[in-house]
């Protein structure tokens, strides 16, 4: 009756025990009450002892040492007991040694006994597993240290000897706190706190190897064994030496790359495609400085959001040409908003994964080079122009000198003939004509000297405030007969009030004479006009004619010395082409404005403008 009561009372306890997943499957388990009635047993127990639930351990051989030890335990107050015993059963052919663990359990005042019987076969399997684990750890060169809950070392693999430079004999039962104090130095306190608090800890430490310094990643793992009966520490080590050295090599390489990039004088940016979008991968300081960018803010951003649209479009087009064609380098020009000119090159390198490419863009500042090249081109054109002017000058001067001197020789022969014929009237006429010829030669040399002084900056300007109408009238009177002789209507029109300007009298008269001479020379019929006009604070002197005129496109060229509209010996007009040049340059030297308006066969108008000066102005 008592056994039935106990069994019914503890049905729930037994049922819960059956579902306890952590029970080792390789051991025989039995739960009995204080009368040794079996409340629960597993299949292995049944196989060994041929007993089942509701049976009693009293059915075993009464002389059995196993039963004797159990009864002795029941009569004592021990909490648990472990013993080795040999039991005669037909399990695995005869008597077998077993290890028995008995633990006393109290539930609601009732006393029960959990008997855990480990078979020889199971123990051999466990020993084999442990030996296999030891062998695997040693052969695999895995550094492992196991310490008990006090920190005393109870197991080490052979590879730990090489790492720490200590033999296994030295390491066994050495405390891990003592061991690692030697290697951790300033990082020892965190390790010590982890040991005392039984928490995880890890640290990369440096150790002096045989050939080079070694780096090991040390991990401290606290653990608690089954049933909380054992606890301790596992210390594992992972060799990071090669990884650390590789990382150092990569860091040094990246540092060198950065130094190279930053020391490139050209502007440099590196971009890559990411989901079809160009992303800025890197840029040197010169590039950031030009575009006023903060490097830390632009890394891995869209390239289109960083640089100007025109530069982005050119880079994108260049990359497209490289991706879709045989080109490996693409070049283009770019002008920044700060009037700087750049020669840009785009090339690429493989990123190392698949077909991904990294595109390298360099911008070389060629502003000074471009300006120098443009200056060379200007100088070359000037040189060509000067050579042409020299050739024209030599051709014209030889013609201009030869013509009058041939005339003088001719006149000399005529004079000889007239002297023999005693025709003194003819001699007088010829002498006058010779004076005109020599006057033109003298004027020719005078103009050459004047231009030379102007070009060299040696000419002196002596400005005074004067009424330009007086000079205009003087030139008109001087040139009137020449115009009349050619049948031209020579007109003069002066301002109603005095036209006061500040100029050099002699130079202004020279200007007007040269321009009136040209007007008369190049006008075959019609008129020549010379006059002045007051236009607000300006005085305008106008020379106008109805002559052959000039092509507007030739005006700038004709302002250069020794230039005529028609060059060469066959030109229809005499002269070196210096008149217009000298007049223009002298006007500029006296702070005047020189303007030409002309059309072919429609005449020419030249307007010279000076500031109006009051009498009281100095």
pLDDT tens digit sequence for 146-176: 888 888 888 888 888 777 878 878 888 789 8
What letter does residue 328 receive in the DSSP assignment? S
Please report the DSSP string for 17-74 in residue order.
Answer: HHT-TTS-TTEEEEEEETT-BEEEE-HHHHHHH---TT-BGGGS-TT-HHHHHHHHHH
The yes-or-no verdict on residue 528 having pLDDT over 90 is yes
Q: Which has the higher per-residue pLDDT, 20 or 474?
A: 474
What average pLDDT does the segment 223-230 reach?
65
**CA distances, 580 to each of 262, 456, 526, 589 (Å):** 58, 18, 21, 14
The yes-or-no verdict on residue 334 having pLDDT over 80 is yes
Q: Buried (b) or exposed (e) across 115-141, using 16+ Cβ within 10 A?
A: bbbbbeebeeeeeeeeeeeeeebeeee
In this structure, what are the phi and psi dihedrals at residue 203, rounded to the nearest 5 degrees? -165, 140
Q: What is the pLDDT of residue 469?
A: 93
Whole-number CA gyration radius for the chain: 60
What average pLDDT does the segment 373-400 reach?
73
* Alpha carbon distance 198, 222 (integer Å): 6
* Alpha carbon distance 371, 373 (integer Å): 5
Q: What is the pLDDT of residue 509?
A: 92
Q: What is the pLDDT of residue 489?
A: 94
Q: Which has the higher per-residue pLDDT, 27 or 478?
A: 478
CA-based nearest residue to 232, from 147, 130, 145? 147
Give the whole-number percent of the chain exceeding pLDDT 90.
16
DSSP H/E element including 182: helix 176-184
Name beta bridge partners: 115: 30, 102
What average pLDDT does the segment 536-545 reach?
93
Spatial neighbors of 615 by CB under 8 A, at least 6 apart, are 465, 500
Residue carrying the six token digits 């008597």: 95
* Alpha carbon distance 151, 173 (integer Å): 9
Q: Which has the higher per-residue pLDDT, 391 or 600?
A: 600
What the block records as the tokens of 259 is: 């130094």
**Three-state secondary structure call for residue 396:** helix
The yes-or-no verdict on residue 544 having pLDDT over 90 is yes
3-state class percentages of the chain: helix first, strand second, coil last, to nearest 5: 45, 30, 25
Domains of the chain (ranges; CATH) run 2-121 (3.30.450.20), 141-245 (3.30.450.20), 264-361 (3.30.450.20), 370-450 (1.10.287), 460-611 (3.30.565.10)
In this structure, what are the phi and psi dihedrals at residue 508, rounded to the nearest 5 degrees? -65, -40
Q: What is the pLDDT of residue 397?
A: 63
Q: What is the pLDDT of residue 504?
A: 92
Confidence of residue 491 (pLDDT cuts 50, 70, 90): very high
Q: What is the pLDDT of residue 373?
A: 83
Least confident of 136-145, 503-512, 559-568: 559-568
The yes-or-no verdict on residue 449 having pLDDT over 90 is no
Q: What is the pLDDT of residue 618?
A: 46
Confidence of residue 48 (pLDDT cuts 50, 70, 90): confident
Quick count: other Cβ atoms within 10 Å of Cβ 348?
19
Least confident of 7-21, 194-208, 362-376: 7-21
Q: Give per-residue pLDDT as tens, 59-96.
A: 888 777 888 888 888 888 888 888 888 777 666 655 67
If DSSP states are collapsed to H, E and C, what string results for 8-21? HHCHHHHHHHHCCC
Q: What is the pLDDT of residue 7?
A: 45
Dihedral over Cα of 554, 556, 557, 560: its sign: positive
The yes-or-no verdict on residue 191 having pLDDT over 60 is yes
Max mean pLDDT among 129-138, 270-279, 421-430, 435-444 falls in 270-279
The yes-or-no verdict on residue 387 having pLDDT over 70 is yes
What the block records as the tokens of 294 is: 């903060």
* Alpha carbon distance 18, 14 (integer Å): 6
Q: What is the pLDDT of residue 4?
A: 45
Q: What is the pLDDT of residue 18?
A: 56
Q: What is the pLDDT of residue 571?
A: 45
Quick count: other Cβ atoms within 10 Å of Cβ 199?
11
* Alpha carbon distance 571, 558 (integer Å): 15
CA-based nearest residue to 290, from 357, 371, 346, 361? 361
Conformation bin of residue 533: beta by default, left when phi > 0, alpha when psi is -120 to 50:
beta
What average pLDDT does the segment 104-110 reach?
85
As a whole number of angstroms, the longest Cα–Cα distance in the chain is 192
Max mean pLDDT among 235-244, 421-430, 484-493 falls in 484-493
The yes-or-no verdict on residue 426 having pLDDT over 50 is yes
Q: What is the pLDDT of residue 2?
A: 43
Query: Across the chain, what does the average pLDDT equal?
Result: 79
Least confident of 202-211, 295-304, 582-591: 202-211
* Alpha carbon distance 611, 335 (integer Å): 42
Q: What is the pTM of this model?
A: 0.39
Quick count: other Cβ atoms within 10 Å of Cβ 211?
5
What average pLDDT does the segment 535-545 reach?
92
What average pLDDT does the segment 383-409 reach?
68
Please report the DSSP string for 402-422 in residue order.
Answer: HHHHHHHHHHHHHHHHHHHHT
Q: What is the pLDDT of residue 390?
A: 67
Confidence of residue 461 (pLDDT cuts 50, 70, 90): confident
**Three-state secondary structure call for residue 93:** coil
The yes-or-no verdict on residue 355 having pLDDT over 90 is no
| Angle at 417 (CA atoms; ends 413, 419), nearest 5 degrees | 115
Q: Which has the higher per-residue pLDDT, 285 or 313?
A: 313
Q: Which has the higher per-residue pLDDT, 412 or 310?
A: 310
What average pLDDT does the segment 337-365 reach?
79
- Is the Cβ–Cβ distance between 586 and 454 less than 8 Å? yes
Q: What is the pLDDT of residue 389?
A: 65
């Amino acid at each position: 009756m008592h056994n039935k009561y106990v069994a019914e009372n503890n049905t729930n306890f037994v049922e819960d025990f059956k579902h306890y997943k952590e029970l080792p499957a390789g051991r025989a388990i039995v739960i009995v009450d204080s009368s040794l009635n079996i409340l629960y047993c597993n299949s292995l127990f049944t196989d060994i002892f041929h007993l089942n639930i509701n049976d009693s351990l009293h059915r075993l051989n009464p002389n059995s040492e196993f039963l004797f030890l159990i009864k002795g335990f029941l009569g004592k107050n021990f909490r648990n007991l472990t013993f080795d015993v040999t039991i005669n059963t037909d399990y695995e052919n005869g008597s077998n040694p077993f290890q028995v663990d008995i633990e006393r359990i109290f539930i609601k005042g009732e006393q029960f006994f959990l008997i855990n019987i480990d078979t020889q076969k199971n123990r051999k399997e466990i020993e084999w597993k442990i030996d296999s684990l030891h062998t695997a750890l040693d052969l695999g060169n895995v550094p492992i240290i196991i310490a008990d809950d006090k920190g005393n070392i109870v197991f080490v693999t052979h590879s730990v000897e090489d790492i720490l430079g200590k033999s296994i004999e030295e390491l066994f039962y050495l405390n891990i706190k003592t061991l690692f104090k030697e290697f951790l130095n300033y990082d020892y306190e965190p390790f010590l706190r982890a040991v005392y608090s039984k928490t995880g800890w890890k640290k990369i430490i440096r150790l002096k190897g045989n050939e080079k310094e070694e780096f090991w990643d040390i991990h401290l793992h606290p653990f608690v064994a089954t049933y909380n009966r054992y606890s301790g520490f596992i210390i594992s080590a992972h060799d990071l030496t090669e990884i650390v050295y590789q990382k150092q090599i990569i860091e040094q390489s990246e540092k060198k790359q950065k130094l190279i990039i930053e020391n490139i004088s050209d502007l440099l940016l590196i971009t890559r495609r990411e989901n079809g979008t160009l992303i800025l991968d890197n840029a040197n300081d010169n590039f950031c400085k030009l575009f006023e960018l903060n490097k830390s803010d632009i890394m891995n951003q869209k390239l289109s959001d960083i640089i100007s649209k025109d530069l982005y479009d050119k880079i994108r087009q260049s990359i497209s040409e490289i991706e879709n064609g045989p080109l490996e380098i693409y070049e283009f020009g770019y002008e920044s908003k700060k009037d700087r000119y750049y020669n840009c090159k785009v090339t690429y390198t493989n990123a190392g994964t698949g077909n991904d490419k990294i595109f390298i863009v360099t911008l070389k500042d060629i502003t000074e080079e471009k300006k120098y090249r443009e200056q060379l081109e200007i100088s070359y054109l000037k040189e060509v122009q000067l050579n042409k002017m020299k050739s024209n000058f030599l051709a014209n001067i030889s013609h201009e000198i030869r013509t009058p001197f041939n005339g003088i020789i001719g006149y000399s022969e005529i004079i000889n003939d007239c002297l023999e014929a005693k025709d003194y009237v003819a001699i007088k006429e010829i002498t006058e004509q010779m004076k005109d010829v020599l006057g033109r030669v003298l004027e020719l040399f005078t103009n050459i000297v004047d231009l030379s002084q102007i070009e060299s900056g040696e000419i002196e300007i002596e400005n005074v405030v004067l009424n330009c109408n007086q000079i205009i009238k003087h030139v008109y009177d001087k040139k009137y007969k020449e115009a009349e002789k050619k049948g031209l209507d020579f007109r003069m029109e002066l301002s109603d009030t005095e036209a006061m300007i500040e100029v050099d009298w002699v130079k202004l008269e020279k200007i007007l004479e040269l321009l009136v001479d040209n007007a008369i020379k190049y006008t075959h019929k019609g008129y020549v006009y010379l006059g002045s006009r007051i236009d607000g604070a300006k005085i305008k002197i106008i020379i106008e004619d109805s002559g052959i005129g000039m092509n507007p496109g030739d005006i700038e060229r004709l302002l250069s010395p020794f230039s005529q509209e028609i060059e060469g010996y066959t030109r229809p007009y005499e002269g070196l082409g210096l008149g217009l040049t000298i007049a223009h340059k002298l006007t500029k030297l006296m702070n005047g404005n020189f303007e030409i308006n002309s059309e072919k066969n429609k005449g020419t108008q030249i307007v010279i403008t000076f500031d109006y000066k009051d009498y009281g102005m100095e």
